[in-house]
Structure 1
């Protein structure tokens, strides 16, 4: 039972190592990094098997080293590297009969694995698992036969049963787990792609709707100008309206492009207080129109890194929303302060507020709380700009109590 206990210990450790490797691989987007972590799993597994090996007879030690050696060669193609490390570890335990058995078996196995690696990758999931198990059984049997030739036959029935069945079981479990991890990753990629396609379709519908409206208006006024001889002042009025509608369509397109390409053309040092004052100067006519009092609480000397024009664009959209949420007057409070290396910007209004569902959907390209008055593009662009500047947004709101946007940026020295 001693041999079986040690081999089952090997099996447990290989599965535990695979679990932690999976947790690391799931966070990796780069395909090459995932392959490297997978290779490291097989290398560490070989070392672990040697550490928990058991001596069967003089110069002969049993463990599951052949499992990570076989699976590593099949899945990664680095069979010679894994064989070399396997033999190096065996040499550290002593140059004896067991070492020469390992040299003979694993050298031939490395050549075979390198040869069949491309063919193995073309097989179906079940076939790959089956090939892994079959090669493990054959390798285990060859090791037992080679031991009998260079040393002496192993007569313990437990040794034969354990050394054939447990490696095969381990190979099947690990191989199936690897395949499951692969399939899960592929499914997640497909779901992510489907979500992106759905988002693009919603966004396209929203964009086309918002552009069609001003174009229809322009078309109507142009038709009026062509059908009847209007006075000059009326023609000027029609043309002014048409130009305004075209500007509105241009703004929609610019918002979409900002969302699609949030990366900055240039990164510069931005003085927060100066740029926020500029934003408030731009919006002061709207604030006066709505009877909104603007309160500023700025901490001087705060700088962040990013695109100055995009920063202003994002906060114009944010504060404009706050002003529009107070059509009957109120107060817009802008506050900045520093904690450690984090710059905080608070934009608080005393407007109509939002419920939890509205907060959760805030920033979606086709969602707005303004009904027919809005497209949702403004907040979408704002969120995109803040993320591109490595910032974070937190929103708190209550119906009838107003809304607070808490934006955090890393301070630039």
Structure 2
């Protein structure tokens, strides 16, 4: 390989392609709403480097100009199928003819590339990473050879030179292999992160389930006792009614615990509503009390009424994670205090524990994915909490000292329903 052929123009074309891939992966990871428009997203992201590569081509010599437009064109067709490929073909040919005029050979060459790639794309997305790499490299080698013979047959002035072999046959397989590899790595990273967040939530759910089972067993035991008492033949009507009232009250208590657990376990909708701080944090406290009892932790609350705005389900999960962290920070038991107050524009919520505390590094890295001070922790619970607070335009501040406890202060904006109308 002659490395003198590698110049600034090649690096520019490669830069356009790789940046577009990074933008596509970032937008795809943005959320469910964007991922629903995957074909439109990849069409847009691949059309940009097609235009830029043609606008700033690679100059082989004064008679030959080349670019890497076929790389994003093929990538878009492979991942998006023939509909994406058809749109990219129109964009590519339109841009080519506007910039350099109509050319029949260019038209036929790219129609051939589109047809072969579109046929190949039907099975491409079902391959694993290794097969995608091998098949995409093989595809572009075949396309390079086929289109070269086509050009030889249609043009008397066409010649295969050393520069042509490098730019048209040797370089494209390397670049498309690199591009496909990066796309697959980014896709796997998005998938792994999504799975880890789900696993983190399922871990919390399983811990709650274990503690709630103890809490539910208590009212059921009481119900069982009163039902047995109701079998007594000498009971008066007043006593029967009292026993039934006790049974109903205990069943209501068990139902409340189960309802809160199910409300947390179900998937959250991307819905934004006014959130009553006092009510929602109160729900979280009631839901996590069984876990606190199992760890000999006393929960005390002093909540001032206040309303902010956000996703209620995410809000409850955020504070459940923070309160759960406070409970786990007191392995020998203690008191966890949740206090809130409201000033002119903000709601301040403080969560104070008497636990083992945090050092400066732990405070600084709180909320980083996959960083946790717990032996089996993933750090994703804290990450979700920090991300939720940031989404609600709030802030989180930590004050802590080793063996002296930790205070987490969350500041959220007050939601004024009248001023928002």
The interval holding the TM-score normalised by the smaller chain is: 0.5 to 0.7
- Consecutive unaligned residues of structure 2, counting only runs of 5 or more, are 283-300, 324-336, 364-384
Match of 1:11 among 14, 24, 36: 14
Question: Which residue does the alignment assign to 1:88?
Answer: 94
Partner residue of 1:185 out of 181, 185, 190: 190
Q: Is the alpha carbon distance of 1:23 and 1:220 closer, same or farther for their aligned partners in structure 2, counting shifts above 3 Å?
A: same
* Correspondences of 1:4-403 after superposition (within 5 Å): 4-5=6-7, 6-30=9-33, 31-56=35-60, 60-77=64-81, 78-95=84-101, 99-148=103-152, 149-150=154-155, 152-154=157-159, 156-224=161-229, 226=231, 242=247, 244-259=249-264, 335-338=341-344, 342-345=345-348, 353=354, 356=357, 394=396
Hey, what's the Cα distance between the residues in 1 that align with 2:10 and 2:130?
25
CA RMSD of aligned residues (A): 4.8
Cα distance, 1:306 vs. partner?
9.2
Q: Sort the Cα spacing of 1:396 and 1:52 in 2 relative to 1 into closer, same or farther, 3 A.
A: same
Distance 2:202 2:272 in 1: 30
Task: Work out the CA distance in 2 between the residues paired with 1:189 and 1:402.
Answer: 29
Which stretches in structure 1 are left out of the alignment for 5+ residues? 280-293, 319-330, 361-382
Q: Rg bigger for which structure? A: 1
Q: Distance in 2 between matches of 1:232 and 1:102?
A: 96
- What is the count of residue pairs matched by the alignment? 340
- Separation in 1 of the partners of 2:245 and 2:275? 39
| Higher mean C-alpha deviation, range 15-24 or range 100-109 | 15-24
Query: In 1, distance between residues paired with 2:165 and 2:227?
Result: 92
In structure 2, the residue corresponding to 1:154 is in which secondary structure? coil
TM-score, normalised via structure 1 length: 0.64
Q: In the alignment, is the contact (CA less than 8 A) between 1:80 and 1:111 conserved in 2?
A: no
CA contact (8 A) 1:69 1:82 kept: yes
3-state SS in 1 of match to 2:343: strand
